[in-house]
Amino acid sequence: MKRLNIFLISIFLITFLGCEDFLDKSPFDIITDDIVITNLDDAEAALLGAYDALQSGDMYGNQAIGTPGVLSDELIHSGSFPTVAEFDNNFVLPNNVTLQNLWAAYYRGLYRANVILERVPPISGNETLKNQILGEALFLRALFHFDLVKLFGGIPYANTTDLSVLRTLDRTPVEDVYTNVIADLNEAITLLAGVSHGNNNRANEWVAKALLARVHLYVGNLSQAGTLANDVIENGPYSLEANYIDVFQGGSDEVLFEVFFSVQDQNGLAFWFREDGRWEYAPSPELIAAFEPGDVRAGMIQPRTGGGFQAAKYTDRATGTDQTPILRLAEMYLIRAEANIASNPTQAIDDVNVIRNRAGLGDVTSVDINTILQERFVEFCFEGHRWYDLNTHWPGRCGYVSC
Q: Note down the domain range covering 148.
A: 14-262+323-392
Residue 215 covered by a domain: yes
- What is the distance of C-alpha 219 from the center of its chain? 16
Query: 101 phi and psi, to 5 degrees?
Result: -65, -40
Residue 270 covered by a domain: no
Residue 297 covered by a domain: no
Residues 121-138 pLDDT 10s? 999 999 999 999 999 999
Residues 225-257 pLDDT 10s? 999 999 999 999 999 999 999 999 999 999 999
19-23, 25-29, 86-90, 337-341: range with lowest mean pLDDT: 19-23
Residues in contact with 395: Cβ distance below 8 Å, sequence separation at least 6, in sequence order: none
Residue 244 covered by a domain: yes
Question: Looking at the predicted structure, is the pLDDT value of residue 399 above 80?
Answer: no
Task: Tell me the pTM.
Answer: 0.91
Residue 312 covered by a domain: no
Report the alpha-carbon distance of residue 7 to residue 107 in Å, rounded. Answer: 11
Residue 38 covered by a domain: yes
Residues 40-63 pLDDT 10s? 999 999 999 999 999 999 999 999
Report the alpha-carbon distance of residue 191 to residue 178 in Å, rounded. Answer: 20
Going from the C-alpha of 96 to that of each of 254, 308, 356, the distances in angstroms are 36, 27, 39
Residue 141 covered by a domain: yes
Chain mean pLDDT for the chain: 91
Q: How confident is the model at residue 1 (pLDDT cuts 50, 70, 90)?
A: very low
Dihedral angle over CA of 388, 389, 390, 393, nearest 10: 120
CATH of the domain at 343: 1.25.40.390
Task: For residue 120, list its beta bridge partners.
Answer: none
Specify whether the CB–CB gap between 302 and 315 falls below 8 A: no
H or E element that contains 257:
strand 255-259
| Total tally of structural domains belonging to the chain | 1
Residue 203 covered by a domain: yes
User: Could you tell me what percent of the chain has a pLDDT over 70?
Assistant: 89
Report the alpha-carbon distance of residue 292 to residue 298 in Å, rounded. Answer: 8
Report the alpha-carbon distance of residue 146 to residue 335 in Å, rounded. Answer: 17
